[in-house]
Amino acid sequence: MQSLIPDYYKELGEAARSGCRKVAWCSSVGPVELLRSLGFAVYFPENHGAMLGASRRAADFISAASALGLSPDICSYMTSDIGAFVQGKTALTSAYGLASVPRPDVLVYNTNQCRDVQDWFSFYSRHFEAPLLGIESPRGMVDVTSAHLRALGQQYQNLASQLEPIAGQSLDIDRLREVVASSLRCTTLWQEALRRGALRPSPLSFLDATVHMGPAVMLRGDPRAERYYEQLLQELDRRAQGGKGAIADERIRLYWEGMPVWGKQAELTEVLAAQGACVVASTYCHSFVFEGLSHPDPFEGMALAYSELFIARAEAYKERYLRTMAQEYGVDAIVFHDARTCPNNSNNRYGLPQRLRAQLGLPFVVIQGDLNDLRLFSEEQARTQLEALLEQVEAGRP
């Protein structure tokens, strides 16, 4: 289980070095199944962004990107990643022994999550003189309609034709079906694992879930990811049967809405655990559940799965989704992270917390911060706010 991600990066490094396989860069909710079925080794820059965030050195890299004309107000995954690149650094060296990020043969984005991935990948497309392709998705959808799906399905078909000459092979539809089916099994297992968070006590916390979501992001469509989650499920069930929670004495259950503060994940988990509080569910980790892949047509399945996701939806959908999640996971309060450089994942800005409080009677707090740029985060202030939220939950109990 532990060797899966290191093996994945080793293979990626090998593909880039030897040229034995073509390398495609892909956005995290991009068309990975298509790339995998065409034989590409697939690299996800967002994972690298998160690694830079967790290293707490992102601010240095963001400054280097600012000097290139990239505003510090845009995605700090993007600015830390590009800043590190221009300084000749990568978090992959210390973690997985790769000298550099793998050189792309093609870069493929999907604007379902934001425009930043498109701009981010264009930088590298210019630098490496590698083709930039993508799916241009509608955003802010209340419902995903058949009209949306038809147009998107067509885009996936076109993308496949554009990728074939780069891959040096034509698309084998049976292989695509196989990869999509594997991706679906992976996603179902991942969803099952996350659902264990509904147990009391929850056998996994937000911190655990962000660690375990790696294969769902980077290896979906690869059967090894399925094995990973089968083992994880067994482990979680063992813990649950033994009554073992992710934290010692779970008294308060929280929902986390928004991005993690990567450089402070452990500290925030500790602050909460010290008061008996555990984040048992999050939008972020659940975003890598793609039920739409069960569609009988693999193209429409990808179109559905990668357009119906939370981030691409209208506020009305988000409100319904969060209401259901809060109820299913039996949470006592909601933490909203307002990540300065990712408005796409900051859902406190249009009055949603207040509306949910009115509907569910749940207290909430909004933490100002960022995914990577710790200059935008005050640990002391966040600690006080989280503790005050927990005091409020405790005081409200009979």
Torsions phi, psi for 257 (to 5 deg): -110, 120
How many residues contact other proteins, by CB under 8 A?
19
Distance separating the N- and C-terminal Cα atoms of the chain: 44
Among other proteins, ligand SF4, none, residue 117 binds (CB under 5-8 Å by kind): ligand SF4
Sequential DSSP letters for 368-393: EE-SS-GGG--HHHHHHHHHHHHHHH
Which parts of 337-366 interact with other proteins (CB under 8 A)? Answer: 357, 363-366
List the x/- string, 354-373, binding to ligand SF4 by CB under 6 A: -----------------x--
- Closer by beta carbon to other proteins, 223 or else 396: 396
Question: Distance (Å, rounded) from C-alpha 80 to C-alpha 82?
Answer: 6
x/- contact string, 18-57, with ligand SF4 (CB under 6 A)?
Answer: ----------------------------x-----------
- Is residue 276 a contact point for other proteins (CB under 8 A)? no
357's contact among other proteins, ligand SF4, none, with CB below 5 to 8 A by partner kind, is: other proteins
Near ligand SF4 by CB under 6 A: residue from 345, 352, 362, 393: 345
How far is CA 202 from each of CA 139, 153, 239, 285, 366, rounded to the nearest angstrom?
Answer: 33, 39, 9, 15, 23
Coil, helix or strand for 332? Answer: coil
The number of angstroms, rounded, from the C-alpha of 345 to the middle of its chain's C-alpha atoms is: 10
Q: In the complex with ligand SF4, which residue's Cβ is closer, 37 or 347? A: 347
Exposed, middle or buried by CB within 10 Å (0-12, 13-18, 19+), for 300? middle
Q: Does 117 bind ligand SF4 (CB under 6 A)?
A: yes
Q: Which residue has the tokens 């965030």?
A: 53
Q: Which residues bind other proteins (CB under 8 A)?
A: 357, 363-366, 368, 376-378, 380-381, 384-385, 387-388, 391-392, 395-396
Q: Which residues bind ligand SF4 (CB under 6 A)?
A: 46, 75, 77-78, 113-114, 116-117, 342, 344-345, 371
